[in-house]
Amino acid sequence: MKYLETSQIIPSKGMSYTMYEIEGNDQIQRMLTYIPDTDEVHVYPKPPVKKLYKPELCKSVEEVVFSELWKLGEERKKEQH
**Domain limits for position 27:** 2-79
Instruction: Please name the helix (run of DSSP H) or strand (run of DSSP E) that holds residue 2, with its range, or none.
Output: strand 2-10
d(CA 51, CA 33): 16
pTM as predicted:
0.92
Question: How many structural domains are present in the chain?
Answer: 1
Q: pLDDT tens digit string along 22-37?
A: 999 899 999 999 999 9
Band (81; pLDDT cuts 50, 70, 90): low
